[in-house]
Every structure is written in C-alpha cells, then in structure tokens.
Amino acid sequence: MLRALREYGSGLDSEPGFKTREVRWCVELAADGRFLNVLPLGDGKRGQMQLRCPDMHNMNAGGKSHFLVETAQTVALQFKANEDAKKIASSEERHRFFVAMLRESAKTIPALALLANVLEDDSKLAEIRDALAQHKAKSTDWLGWRVDGMDPREDVATQAWWREWRHTDMRGGSSESTPSFSDTTDGAMLCLLSGEPTQPLPTHPKITGLSAVGGLGMGDVIVGFDKAAFGSFGLNQSANAAMSAEATQQYVDGLNDLIRNHSQKLANALVVHWFKEEIAQEDDPLEWLNGFETQENIEAAAQAAARRLLNSIRSGECALLGDSRYYALTLSGASGRVMVRDWMEGRFEDLLRNVEAWFSDQAITKWDGRSLAFDPKFYEVCLGLVRNDRKKSISKNLEQLPATSVSAIWKSAVQRLPIPQPLLAQALAQFRAERFTPDERNREVFYHARMGLIKAYFVRLKPGGDPAMTAYLNPEHPDPAYHCGRLLAVLSNLQRAALGDVGAGVVQRYYAAASQTPGLILGRLASNARNHLGKLEGGLAYWYENKIADVMGQLGDRAPRILDLEGQGLFALGYYQQLASMRAGSKDKNATTDTTKQGEAQ
C-alpha cells in the first residue's frame, strides 16, 4: 500500500522539507516595504493550494514556526477575542522565531529583510491585522507574501537557502539526525519502500484532511512508534519501519493529495482511489458508485456506462485501460493515527466488471412496478440501512452507520463479494420499521436501495448468481418464504379493497409476526379473507379469489412455521414485488383496487 502511495506521490512536486498547503491570504507589499493590501486566494470556499511551502521539522519541540508561509496567528499575532494567555505567549514566541528566520535568510537573500522589517514595525503589523479582520480571516488561516508582485516562496535562491538551512539544522544535533540503533554502527538500514540503504526518518510527516472522520485538525500519522511498547529490538521511533526521508515524503504527499482531490466521505469513513494509468472522470467506475448527482431522467445510467466501457476494452478501442490497475483505501482517524479500514487493488477491467455486477445484482422494480428503479448511489445504499431523520442532512444521517459497515458494503461492491449477513439484518429491520408512501418521492430512492440490497444478498449467495432472484415479481420462485410475503401483500390489498382505510390494517398489525412465524399467522388471515371477499363486486372478488389460490398453490402443503433471517429476507422481497406488481396493474379497475395511494407500514 505504501509503495503504491509512494509511486503516486513520485509524480508530484515532492521533496523533504517542502509541503503543499492551502493558503487563504496573501500579504502584498510594495518594493519599498509599504503595506498595500491583503488579497484573498482561492475560490472563497477553499484557499489556493500552493506548492513548495517550507515545512519545519521537529515542531513538537515548541517555539518553532514554519518559514515564509505560516498562520495569521503566528505572522500577524491575530487572536480571537478572549484568547487564552498561554496561547498568546506561545504564538508570540513562534512569531519571534519566524522573524528571526527571516533575518537569518536575509544574510544570503537581502530582499527577505524587508519582510522582517515589516513584522517588527508595530504600526504595519496593526495594518495587516486590520486588513485581515475586514476580510474576516481566521487566525488559523495560512498566510503568504507578495513583494513587488513576486512571491518569495517561488524564488529558487530562497528554496536553496531553506534546503541548506534545514539540512544543517537537522545534522546539528536534532533527534531526526541522530537516531540510535542497537544493531548498527552508522545508523544505516534498508528502506522498506526503496530497498536502498538509508538513515531512517524517526518521525513521519502527518496526514491531513481526516478531521471529519475522527482525525485531528493538526493531522494524523500513518507510521509512528511514539511508545516504547510499539518498538522492538531496541530500535527507536520509526526505525522499526525504516524509510528514507525522500520515500516518506513521497507517500505522505501522495496520500495528502488523494485526500484533497480524490476522496469521498462515506458515513464515518473516507474513501480515496486512484489508477495506475490516467482515467477520465467520466470513465471512472468508482465515481459512478460514489457520485451525488441525481439521475431523475436517466435509468440504469451507471450500469450501462460500465457495459459500454467493458465492450470498448474487449473490442480493442480502449485496450490500454484493460491493463491498468486501480487502488482504493478506506480511512478514518483515531487518537492521532490514521486507521486503514481497507485496502484494495486489482485490474481495471475486473473493477468495471464488478461495478457492473453491483448494479445488476441490485436491480429492482420501482414501488409502482412499472419500471426498474434508478441505479442506487453508494450513499443511498448506506442510508437504506439506517433511520433517516428528515430534519438532518444526508451526512448526519450517514454518521449512524459504523465505519466497519461502510467498509464491508464498499468491499462487496468493488470486489464482488457476498454481502455480510448483518447488513441483511439491518436492511430488514429498517424495512419493518419505516413507512413509505408515494408522496415521499425524496425518500423512495432509499426504499428502492434497501430492497435492491436485500435482493443482491440472495443473488450473491450462489456462485454465478441465483436465476430465481429477478427484478420483478417471480411467481415461480422455489422458496415458500417468498410466497408467504406475496400472500400477505394480496391479503392486505384485499382488506383495503373491501373496507377502505381502516387505520391499523393487516400489515401494520401482523407483518412482523407473519414474517417470522408465517405458519401461525397466515392461515388465520386467509380464513378471514372470505369475509372481505363477500363485500366486493363479483368480478373483483373473483380476481382476488384466484390470486389467493395461485399464491397458496405455490406454498405446497403448508406455510413454514418459522423463518430464519434469510427466510425473512425472501418474505420481504415477495411482499414488496407482489405489491409492485399489483400497482402496475392497478390501471385495470377489474384487476385490483387503486393501490397507488396505499402506503407500506411494516
């Protein structure tokens, strides 16, 4: 995994001592040192990603700051109202270090003395603070410079000075330059990523961007040995997983870039993915899984796109894609560490085939039975497993789902694995608990996604799929549990046809019991159906009588006395698909009542 991340990072402008940062503001100075303005960077929502920002080492020692590019709090001493006195004192210490670094660099690059002069002038520092306040800048926002139209960060001579200063400082006695190893004399070990002899980097740079999934705002480490119990053979810190500074910076920069530009938050986890060869976004199968765009007018769009791309690879039109590989990571944060929930890699063509199967296996009729439901987005499948509070956002509702469950669903989709049984249990629990009516069109996608996942569970139970699991009603299904669900759907519609809206009807009162012990419940309901048939007109009564006879004929001698979890899943599918089938035929008044106004109450 780290080797793949390093390979990705090697294509970036990566070098130890430099980091890409999101800079929100630029302090503009004239050639004579006059303060001109504070310029906002970025698009208003995010700052500008700037390459080669000097990155100071050993920041945990305290009192240090980064060189040239720092926060408004450190550079301009901008604080929140009622800021803690200790924090102010700490920031003032870092400010002095920042100015001292500028003075030191000015011995080689005289132009940088102008920045130090500005920051030591209280009146100019107050001007910068006032301008930042007018722009409503935060004290934690990163700040850069422009002097006479030039950014000193981009100056080759400035970068060379920083490179040499850092090298000298680390060599002059810092913990990063003198790791102790009991089994070596010169500190040289083999780098796990390059295989070359190296002096290992004791502490690795941090991974940022995981604060929304349990990480820290200051960043988290993916490789770290900060306690003696984590080490072995007397090795200190990250010498237990020896990596060179160059290789470490490449994997860190690679993962940080992926989190910024190629990630998707799914419940309490973050998924990042990339490809060995460049793939256009419209040809990215994982974007089809993760996308949040609506498809109100496009049916089966993702599945059709996967099939088109597969056919292009097989025909030779996109032969290079067939040899490409994909990589996917599922991440979260915990106590300052990056938690790798899952790691997947494989052939691009296999990924396409698996994504196509994911949508194919979940294909299910809409609630009205007249067409297939749209391909579900991944977050819709996840929301089908939890209670959806209409007052909360999608992301808040998704937080109810544990990261382990998200990882399991993701892995099932990407690697074409069986769907874990606990997910079936969650889907059935929500199917019994939630109500759905056709007026709630904003919720029907989750309803369809839930039923599609239940169907996909059974499709994947058998190698090669289960031909009995069809998207629409299957009157010839071999399992009695499926027909028990069908029978409850028919009896529910019969009651409504005979009595109208009676409030707590058959489904509300008996669904849970009938789905678990159909042999004890359905017989009594079927007997009571004769009373309802007597209240209907002749043609409609005849239709229902034949429908009940057809379904009961599929049950054989008797309904099962008890259904296990999988039997309850088949019961739910039979119930749902039978209702959808009757809704599709409701335009024929002689066939059934108008059930399009009937809600499901499990």
- Please name the residues in contact with 208: beta carbons below 8 A apart, sequence gap of 6 or more: 219, 220, 256, 259
- Pairwise pLDDT comparison (501 vs 89), residue with the higher score: 89
C-beta separation of 573 from 515 below 8 A: no
Closest by CA to 573, choosing from 424, 393, 351, is 424
Q: Buried b / exposed e across 460-492, counting CB within 10 Å, b at 16+?
A: beeeeebeebbbebbeebebbbbbbbbbbbbbb
**Residue 33 and residue 151: Cα distance in Å, rounded?**
14
In this predicted structure, which of 192-196, 484-488, 568-572, 590-594 has the lowest mean pLDDT?
Answer: 590-594
Long-range pairs of 172-181 with CB within 8 A, sequence gap ≥ 24? 174/57, 174/58, 175/58, 175/202, 175/203, 176/57, 176/58, 176/201, 176/202, 176/203, 179/236, 179/237, 179/239, 180/236, 181/234, 181/235, 181/236, 181/239
Q: What is the DSSP string of 78-141?
A: ---TT--HHHHHHHHHHHHHHHHHHHHHHTT-GGGHHHHHHHT-HHHHHHHHHHHHHTT--TTS
440-473 per-position pLDDT tens digit = 555 688 889 999 999 999 999 988 889 999 999 9
More confident residue, 313 or 51: 51
Place of tokens 């009571």: 528
Give pLDDT, residue 290. Answer: 65
Q: What is the pLDDT of residue 173?
A: 46
Q: Would the pLDDT of 598 be above 90?
A: no
What's the confidence (pLDDT) of residue 425? 95
Tell which residue, 130, 138, 126, 160, has the closest CA to residue 22.
138
Q: Tell which residue, 125, 98, 122, 102, has the closest CA to residue 113.
A: 102
Is residue 267 within 8 A of residue 406, CB to CB? The reply is yes
For residues 447 and 367, is the Cβ–Cβ distance under 8 A?
yes
Closest CA to 368 of 446, 444, 430, 275: 444
Burial 283-321 (b: 16+ CB within 10 A, else e): bbbbbbbbbeeeeeeeebbbbebbbebbebbeeeebeeb
- How many other CB atoms are found less than 10 A from the CB of residue 84? 10
The rounded distance, in Å, linking the Cα atoms of 331 and 591 is: 53
Predicted pLDDT of residue 184: 40
Q: Under DSSP, is residue 385 helix (H, G, I), strand (E, B) or coil?
A: coil
- CA torsion 84-87-91-92 (nearest 10°) is 60
Q: Which residue is it, tokens 């292009």?
A: 312
What is the sign, positive or negative, of the torsion defined by CA atoms of 228, 232, 236, 241? negative
CA distances, 397 to each of 135, 380, 383, 400, 401 (Å): 34, 11, 7, 6, 8
Which residues neighbour 139 within 8 Å (Cβ) at sequence distance 6 or greater? 71, 72, 73, 78, 79, 80
Q: How far is CA 233 from CA 184, 223, 311, in A?
A: 11, 18, 54
pLDDT at 67: 96
Are 302 and 355 spatial neighbours (Cβ–Cβ below 8 Å)? Answer: yes
Report the sign of the C-alpha dihedral through residues 12, 13, 18, 20, in that order. negative
Residue 143 has pLDDT above 80, yes or no: yes
Q: How far apart are CA 599 and CA 439, in angstroms?
A: 9
In terms of Cα–Cα distance, which of 465, 447, 275 is closest to 367? 447
First to last CA, the chain: 45
Q: Which of 334, 332, 338, 284 is nearest to 306 (CA)?
A: 284
What is the SS3 assignment for 22? Answer: strand
Q: What is the mean pLDDT of residues 525-553?
A: 85
143 or 231: which leads in pLDDT: 143
Give the side-chain half-sphere CA count within 13 A for 256. Answer: 24
Residues of the chain above pLDDT 70, percent? 87
Q: pLDDT tier at 25 (50, 70, 90 boundaries)?
A: very high
Say what the pLDDT of residue 187 is.
61
pLDDT at 312: 65
Residue with tokens 């705002």: 217
Greater confidence, 351 or 267? 351
Q: Is the pLDDT of residue 92 over 60?
A: yes
402: left (phi over 0), alpha (psi -120 to 50) or beta: beta
Supply the pLDDT for residue 185.
Answer: 36
SS3 label, residue 9: helix
Per-residue pLDDT tens digits for 305-330: 666 666 766 555 565 566 778 899 98
pLDDT digits over 117-139, tens only?
999 999 999 999 999 999 999 99
Q: Stretch 60-73: mean pLDDT, rounded? A: 89
The model's pLDDT over 159-188, given as tens digits with 9 standing for 90+, comes to 999 999 998 988 774 444 333 333 343 568
Q: Note the pLDDT of residue 442.
A: 54
List residues bridging with 18 in a β-sheet.
Answer: 54
pLDDT tens for 29-49 read 999 999 999 999 998 888 999
Q: What is the mean pLDDT of residues 219-227?
A: 88
- Is pLDDT at 523 greater than 70 in this prediction? yes
Q: What is the DSSP letter of 344?
A: E
Got the DSSP string for 520-531? HHHHHHHHHHHH
